[in-house]
Structures are given as structure tokens and as C-alpha cells.
Amino acid sequence: MRGPHNIIRLIRTGATLERTGAMNVVLDAFEAPRALRIVAHTLGKPFQWLGYKGDPNMPPATRALTALGPAYIKFGQVLSTRPDVVGDELADQLRVLQDKLPPFSRDEAMAEVEKELGQPVSEMFSEFSEPIAAASIAQVHKAKLTSTGEDVAVKVLRPGIERAFRKDVDAFYFAARIVQLFAPGARRLRPMEVIEHFDGVVRGELDLRLESAAASEYAANIKDDAGFWLPPVVWSLSARRVMTLSWADGIALGDNAALDTAGHNRPDLAERVLRMFLLHALRDGFFHADMHQGNLKVAANGDIIAYDFGIMGQINEYTRRVYAEILFGFIRRDYKRVAEVHFEAGYVPAHQDVDEFARALRAVGEPIFGMDATHISMGRLLNYLFEVTERFGMETRTELILLQRTMVVVEGVARSLDPHMNIWEVARPVVEDYIKKSIGPRAALRDFGKTAMVLARFGPRLPALVENALIAQTQKDEPTPSRLWSVALPATIGAAAGAALVLLLTTFG
């Protein structure tokens, strides 16, 4: 979608940024060079009258993005997960971005439901309320199933939202190309990477089948976690543009007065929300990456209920082990081990000095651990840690940034419930338990068993793989006995070891 609409949209965007006072905030956050600042102000200042006024009670950046509409609101939300790109100050502003827009009508929502699910609303729902919550991409209605009388929540995408997003995302790509043209050496901008990341997030959120699948997987993982619950997906009434969940009443986790009135134990809730996040991140590698108070409620029985599964974090098992060892090392104040883990994982280039890195980590950790326990912040520690690792040449790792951002949000939620909470004392048993199960002789044997199973599956193909390798070596140059054995022996030993271990595991259970 190339054309004059991109230029017009960018001029209006620049005009809105200028009019709301957000232009310099954004340029400073991105450390934009002089050439880009000149272009931005040239596009913005002469056309300020074209810009949207926005809500003057909001901070400049959130005021501008809210005024520009759904795609810009969502862009701000995604950027709030990337403090590596926009800096901590702007990320904090964007993190509290109000994701609220005027709702579309109940009739339009019912028409979308009928079109998507292929049935009259009256056959599916005996009641269908006015919208109870409206966000940038979708809104939610309370309904009652005709078949069972059960209350459900029906999430419906905004009509035409896909086309609107594609139009704005196309303009974002156009802007990214302009940035690259005028600021090719801007280290922290990485405009195309940012827009591609945003594009991927939005594509996922515009298909509610993916959110339903994420909710279902998350529910399966946490089904035995006492005190934490997810409303189940009603699959028969969910599709690409409609998602139906069982209804769950509760008190917002941010409403301390209501929680106290209902007799809930706020310190217990604070510990549980932090413990559950760490448990899901370390044990499952699949965690709710938007765990602010608006997405968490407390049921009458004290269970924490989670909602909104559009942004989920995923980290592989190896990264989880690295993350756990880093946390565990800081808990024990073993900075040399934390440094070694960074080098072993390849996070810090091998040419750096491990002892110097360990001293830099000590400079991060000791001031924090010297504080009163109630002031120790895991989020602050991770922020400082990333500053140090950047100095030592660590490349940005998106999965760790999302994990860090969620850790900061969850810590904030926990602190709002119990300001005197000792974050590290709550985290210690979860991290220690994961370390015991995932690092050590038992874990090594389990890993070896998994490797053996893979080798066993490839067993029937190993002779052909060895033969192909030998043929390739022959075609490359004349084979010698040593060359032949260097190819054939590892494969043969691997196959034999795999078969033997599988036999042992099968025999002894």
C-alpha cells in the first residue's frame, strides 16, 4: 500500500506530536540525530493546525498516541515493552497508556458475532449486553448462553479494524524508511526492527483464535496451581473475530479498599502474584506478559483470576535455566557465577574479561542488597544488569526484555498490595526449586535421555546419513582412512549410545 496517504498520515502524525508537545519527548527518547530532528519538525510545525488536540490532562506522548487512534495506541503499548529502544522514562509513560476508546454499538457487535459464528445471536445467547469494556482492537460484552444459561464474556474485534491497522502500519514502515535514510547511524533507533516487531504482535492480536489457543495452553499449564485461575474458552463460540470465555466475577487487584472490605489478605495476594509469574516463566516458559491490575481480579474465594491473553511471553528451556542461574547467583551474591553464566550463554563476547565483568556486577548488586529488604527491587536490579551487559557488548535479546518488563509490572502490582514485601524472600523458593530440578545430575540425565530419544528416532536413517557424508567427502577430495573414520565413527557411536540408553531407560523405567 504505497501512495500519498502515507505522506498525509505522517504529516498529521507530526502535527499531532508538535501540537501535544510530544515531538521532543519522542525524539529525545530515541536519541534522534540532528538531521532527523530537522525533518521531524519540518513535517510537524507548519501543519500544527492539522494535528489532533488530545486530552491535555495526559502526559504528552500518551496524549498524542491516544488522539491518533487505535494503531498508535497499540504501537505505544508495544513500545512500552521495549525500554531498550525508547528508554525507561518513555516506556514508563507508555506503560500506563489508557487503552480505552469509545465503543461501537451493540447492534454492530451482534452483527459481527452472527457473521463470524454463522448463527443468529438469539440461538446462541439469550442475553447480550451493551459493551462493558472497549479497547483499541476489540470490546467485551456480557452474555448468557441459550443452551445452559451460563454467563459468558464475548470479545468482538472492532469492525474494519484489520484494514485500519494495515493502513497505519504501512505508514509506519514508510516512516521507518525515512528514518533509515536520514539517520543510518542511529544506534538505538532500529526502526525497521521495531515496526516488524509491532506488525507481528498486531497480526497475532487480530486473530482471536490465536488468543484462544494461548489461553487454552496457559490454562492447561496452571491447572494445578492453587489460588490462580483462568476462565475457560468456549471453543464452540469462538472464531477469528470472536472469542467467548466463561464469565468470572471478581474485585480488581488494584482496588485495595474493596479488597480490604471483602476481607482478602493483601500480603498473601502480593506474594502469590509474584510467585505465580516466576513459576510460569521458569517452569513452563510460557507466561502472561501483561499482568497489570486491569487484567487481574480476585474471586470471592480469594483466587486470582487472569484475563486478556493477547500478549504472552515464551522462553525456551535453555534461556530459562540461564535466567534462573542469574537470579540465583544474585540471591546468593555470587557475582563471579553470574558473570560466568553470561559468558557460558554467549550473552557477553568471549574477548571480554570475566573478572572485570564480575566486579561490574558486584557494583550493581551490593548497593541494592545494602538497602532495607522492603526497598529491594528485582526490576531495578534487572534494569541495572542490562545497563552493565550493554557496556560489555551484550546484544539486545527480545525475549529477556519482555521478561524483564513483565517482572517490573508484576513487582509493581505486588508492591501496590503490600509495600513492605521482601521481593527476594518470595522469589528465593521458586528459583531454588527450579534450580534443583533443572540443573544438576538428575537434569543432566534427563537431558541425555532426550538426546538419546532423538538419536533413536533417527536410527533407521543413520546408515544413509553416514553413506551420504562419505560420498560428499569422497567428491570433495580423495578419502583417507582417517578422514573416513572421522565421519563414520561419531555417527556410529552416537547411534549405539542412543540405542543403549533408550534400552536402559525402557528397562529400568
Report the alpha-carbon distance of residue 304 to residue 71 in Å, rounded.
31
One domain, residues 261 and 305: yes
Q: Comparing 73-87, 277-291, 321-335, 488-502, which segment has the lowest mean pLDDT? A: 488-502
Stated pTM of the model: 0.73
Q: Which of 188-192, 254-258, 360-364, 483-487 has the highest average model confidence (pLDDT)?
A: 254-258
Rounded percentage of the chain residues whose pLDDT exceeds 70:
75
Q: How confident is the model at residue 287, as a pLDDT? A: 94
Residue 421 has pLDDT above 60, yes or no: yes
The pLDDT value given to residue 97: 65
Are residues 270 and 325 both part of a single domain?
yes
Here the cell at position 182 is 536520514
388 and 275 housed in the same domain:
yes
Residue 27 has pLDDT above 90, yes or no: no
For residues 152 and 231, give the distance between their C-alpha atoms in angstroms, rounded to a whole number.
Answer: 9
Known active-site residue 224: no
Local structure of residue 119 (DSSP, 8 states): S
For residue 47, what pLDDT band results from cuts at 50, 70 and 90? Answer: confident
- Annotate 362-382 with b (16+ C-beta within 10 A) or e (fewer): eebbeebeeeeeeebbbbbbb
149-191 tens-digit pLDDT: 999 999 999 998 888 888 888 888 887 887 777 665 554 456 7
Q: What is the mean pLDDT of the chain?
A: 80
> Which stretch of DSSP H or E encloses residue 312?
strand 312-314
Q: What pLDDT does 322 receive?
A: 84
> Which residue range forms the structural domain that includes residue 212?
105-157+207-226+235-248
What cell was used for 484?
A: 573416513
* Cα 450 from Cα 505, distance rounded (Å): 11
325 and 401 both lie in a single domain? yes
The average pLDDT across 231-255 equals 94
C-alpha cell at 231: 476462565
The whole-number pLDDT of residue 474 equals 67
Q: Is 455:494 a contact under the CB 8 Å cutoff?
A: yes
pLDDT recorded at residue 269: 95
Whether the pLDDT of residue 504 is over 50: the answer is no
Estimate the share of the chain in helix, then strand, then coil, as percent rounded to the nearest 5: 65, 10, 25
For 144-153, the CB contacts below 8 A with 24+ separation are 145/234, 145/237, 146/122, 150/246, 150/247, 151/246, 151/247, 152/125, 152/234, 152/237, 152/244, 152/245, 152/246, 152/247, 153/231, 153/244, 153/245, 153/246, 153/247, 153/248
Q: Which residue has the cell 522462553?
A: 315
pLDDT at 158: 92
Q: Return all residues near 496 (Cβ < 8 A) that are at least 6 apart.
A: none
69 and 150 together in one domain: no
Q: What is the per-residue pLDDT for 30?
A: 64
Provide φ and ψ at 60, rounded to 5°: -50, -50
Residues 385 and 307 in one domain: yes
Please, are residues 261 and 252 in contact by the beta-carbon 8 Å criterion? Answer: no
Over range 279-287, report the average pLDDT.
92
332-342 residues labelled b (16+ CB within 10 A) or e (exposed): eebbebbbbbb
Lowest-pLDDT range of 31-45, 230-244, 442-456: 442-456
Taking the C-alpha atoms of residue 257 and residue 486, their distance in angstroms, rounded to an integer, is 71
What per-residue confidence (pLDDT) applies to 509?
44
Q: Give the total residue count for the chain.
A: 509
Confidence of residue 342 (pLDDT cuts 50, 70, 90): confident
Catalytic residue among 84, 168, 170, 290: 290
Tell me the three state secondary structure of residue 242.
Answer: strand
Q: Which of 97-111, 139-153, 312-326, 432-446 has the lowest mean pLDDT?
A: 432-446
Same domain as 496, residue 401: no
- Among 415, 439, 463, identify where a domain stops: 439
% the chain with pLDDT above 90:
29
In this structure, the answer to whether residues 111 and 179 fall within a common structural domain is no
Question: Domain ends where: 404, 420, 439?
Answer: 439
Q: Among residues 439, 459, 476, which one ends one of the domains?
A: 439
pLDDT in tens, 65-77: 888 878 888 777 7
- Tell me if residue 8 falls in helix, strand or coil: helix
Looking at the fold, whether 19 and 152 belong to one and the same domain comes out as: no
Number of domains in the chain: 4
Residues 198 and 148 in one domain: no
Shared domain check, 494 and 385: no
Mean pLDDT throughout 261-283? Answer: 93
440-455: average pLDDT = 64
Q: Are residues 253 and 386 in the same domain?
A: yes
When pLDDT is averaged across residues 123-137 and rounded to a whole number, the result is: 91
* Least confident interval from 90-99, 182-191, 371-380, 417-426: 182-191
Residue 507 pLDDT class (50, 70, 90 cuts): very low
DSSP string, 177-219: HHHHHH-TT-TTT-HHHHHHHHHHHHHHHT-HHHHHHHHHHHH
Which pLDDT score is estimated for 228?
Answer: 96
End-to-end Cα separation, the chain, in angstroms: 59
Question: For residue 195, is pLDDT > 90?
Answer: no
- Whether the per-residue pLDDT at 254 is higher than 90: the answer is no
| CATH code for the domain in which residue 123 is found | 3.30.200
